[in-house]
Structure 1
């Protein structure tokens, strides 16, 4: 009886210990799951906060304040000689008086009354300093407009635009804001008359960089980015795929190939600014290629993208079952035929996915481009990869350092456009993989 009682007691104790151990283990698992869920929630929360911050600051840049003017293109002011000489009519200073007279009439002033000269200057300050350039370009494109009267929407000054958008409060002392009371009075009058309104900001998409935020755009930067992405695609894709095929299918397995594989993996983790230093030393200082050119930027980004494409391509080749190779070899195909006729087509979805992801990574890089001088102020559109250019991430970097308030919204708007490009490329990669991928 004593032995039976002891055995029963030991069994109950063992069972109790086991239950306690299970409870502790389940408790640890629940805590671990709670920590994981909390981490995910925090990550998503911070991402949403960041995105909302960019959107709230940048959405207003897609609209621009303009002033409607009944504009008389006085031939005596624009082309006194009457010869329609381009060198004469393309001088922006000739259009300042035309705009001043028109905006003075718009606010109810007599342009010929010398007693209101001060008020006329205040009214003229509502216009952007680039308004005369825009009007000049319109007249140069169509000289027949000289001597006629047109309805014209002139670009408002950047500070006026910020005030109309509510970014500059009116209920603070005049000495503490950039827009004066006299200007506010004219703004209210123009808005009430329907002569001042916010319109879609086409300048953001068709203009190049400018010292005036209301005239600044991303077109030149986008063109430079396109040139660089084309160079990366033309160089990185064939080189990366060829290197991957050799390493995965033909190279002998020895210490040298192992060393190459380790270095490729290490290059994928090297900070991008190191590639910029390499490009500065090799392509500019040694090879003598032009500084700030899209060609140099594309070569640097190619070096940076190659490890990503090689790693992705090798993974895609490994995912093809060995039976495909064996079947091709079994019916008499050579190893090269088996690779290029059977294995490579089946690995194409993974290769395309890796290439698009590599291009998206290159599109968003800034540091290596700063090292090769693409931070310069480039206003003219590049026509070849050898012309000076900049890139969209670099343009964002330059705008972020500007002191004017209006550049803040343009910086955020450019970030939104860049994010849209990156999202489109990543979505394309996912769709291509799902469309062409085969399950084994």
Structure 2
């Protein structure tokens, strides 16, 4: 065998070192590329989120303010009854007097109808309330703050343009001229749209609000929480701390994990068949909606609770048992209190998930028009997700801006609930 020269022996370690350096540079380059891939992915996700929220805010911010017109109305004693002011046609009275004040020769007929279309039907209720509260105004001229109709409001918000051909918009050129004259006279004012938060649903966009849907969602979440949290936490405690490890519990655990991935519409079909068709519970009521959402929230809540129980160190259980505590005392006096931050977080997240569900609610009848505000859990109600669905499918253009506004309200509720979950976790979380 030929002996290696001294120069070859000296060069071999240098070559190995060079290969190690090349490999190290490649690993560092791959690591840097991976970091940049992550940054690009996060940036893309944030960009899409900003675009989505920006589009919703752009479309829905106009729903948070509305326009009204202060118009003087002569309470004609021949047309306004002191004992029953609601019977007077204040809309026609206001339109005719306003046209006559502007010098229109014939302030009746089609022109009066066109003028009446600029004001909301709320005008008659505001005028009737004024007469009921102050009967002495009959025979006097009173300034009535009249809400404008949805089309007039959209024009003043810039959503309807005069440049659009007249046959392609719901306001005629004459009506736009009247609005501009009211605006020039200083009669038109913009104000915060309190109706959006103080009224229920309505067939007239300018009178529609989200209060009924908010109360309906709150009642459903109350029913969901009262059912899902005790049952979910109890099931998780039994499975994690007391259940024997056998095939039956393995099947239960697998099915719970599978149920967490079942589409929500399946729960709606189950609720329709079980709670409405078989148990004959009131259709579209919070109790049915709460039961359906509770079924949907249970798998998520059980999984989160079991994860929290597993995070408690075994030494806690061993110490309690060594001091003479029973298994039940150990679980409910030591383990469960220490796992409570995770349990509360899972409960809030599951409730937030239930709050945003739409498909199950549509299948149990919460797609119909429900005016007013519900007062009990057995009355037909709406919910924020179903209200958004109804408004988006409405033909009136003004409902579309209210759809985006309702989405913002729903997002605000979900953000608050998720923030509460984060705060609870950070406030009570234990570091082992």
- Per the normalisation by structure 1, the TM-score is 0.91
SS in 1 for 2:258: helix
Say whether residues 1:5 and 2:13 are aligned partners.
no
Do the aligned partners of residues 76 and 238 (structure 1) sit closer, same or farther apart at CA in structure 2, a change above 3 Å counting? farther
1:10-69 CA-to-partner distances (Å, cap 9, x unmatched) read: 333322222222222222222211111111000000001101110111111001111112
SS in 1 for 2:377: coil
Distance in 2 between the 1:335 and 1:322 partners?
A: 13
Say whether residues 1:98 and 2:93 are aligned partners.
yes
SS in 1 for 2:68: strand
- 1:93-132 aligned at under 5 Å gives the runs 94-104=89-99, 108-109=102-103, 114=106, 118-132=110-124
Q: Which residue in 2 is equivalent to 1:373?
A: 365
Asked if 1 retains the 8 angstrom alpha-carbon contact of 2:272 and 2:363, the reply is: yes
Distance in 1 between the 2:16 and 2:135 partners?
A: 102
Asked if 1 retains the 8 angstrom alpha-carbon contact of 2:96 and 2:107, the reply is: no
Deviation of 1:343 after TM superposition, in Å, equals: 1.7
Say whether residues 1:391 and 2:378 are aligned partners.
no
1:273-301 CA-to-partner distances (Å, cap 9, x unmatched) read: 11001101111111111211111101000
Asked if 2 retains the 8 angstrom alpha-carbon contact of 1:139 and 1:145, the reply is: no
Q: Which residue in 2 is equivalent to 1:325?
A: 317
Q: Which residue in 2 is equivalent to 1:21?
A: 23
- 1:274-285 aligned at under 5 Å gives the runs 274-285=266-277
Distance in 1 between the 2:70 and 2:163 partners?
A: 27
Distance in 2 between the 1:273 and 1:140 partners?
A: 51
Q: Which residue in 2 is equivalent to 1:265?
A: 257
Structure 1, gaps ≥5 residues long:
none
Q: Which residue in 1 is equivalent to 2:404?
A: 412
Q: Which residue in 2 is equivalent to 1:362?
A: 354
Pick aligned residue for 2:297 from 283, 305, 311: 305
Deviation of 1:211 after TM superposition, in Å, equals: 2.1
Do the aligned partners of residues 63 and 103 (structure 1) sit closer, same or farther apart at CA in structure 2, a change above 3 Å counting? farther
Distance in 2 between the 1:155 and 1:299 partners?
A: 40
Deviation of 1:245 after TM superposition, in Å, equals: 1.0
Pick aligned residue for 1:291 from 283, 289, 304: 283
Distance in 2 between the 1:94 and 1:145 partners?
A: 19
Deviation of 1:415 after TM superposition, in Å, equals: 0.5
SS in 2 for 1:77: coil
Aligned length: 429
Q: Which residue in 2 is equivalent to 1:220?
A: 212
Stretch of structure 1 that moved more, 192-201 or 275-284: 192-201
Deviation of 1:258 after TM superposition, in Å, equals: 1.4
Asked if 1 retains the 8 angstrom alpha-carbon contact of 2:131 and 2:137, the reply is: no
Do the aligned partners of residues 65 and 351 (structure 1) sit closer, same or farther apart at CA in structure 2, a change above 3 Å counting? same
Say whether residues 1:206 and 2:201 are aligned partners.
no
The runs of 4+ residues in structure 1 deviating greater than 6 Å are: none
Stretch of structure 1 that moved more, 166-175 or 246-255: 166-175
Asked if 2 retains the 8 angstrom alpha-carbon contact of 1:312 and 1:351, the reply is: yes
Deviation of 1:9 after TM superposition, in Å, equals: 3.4
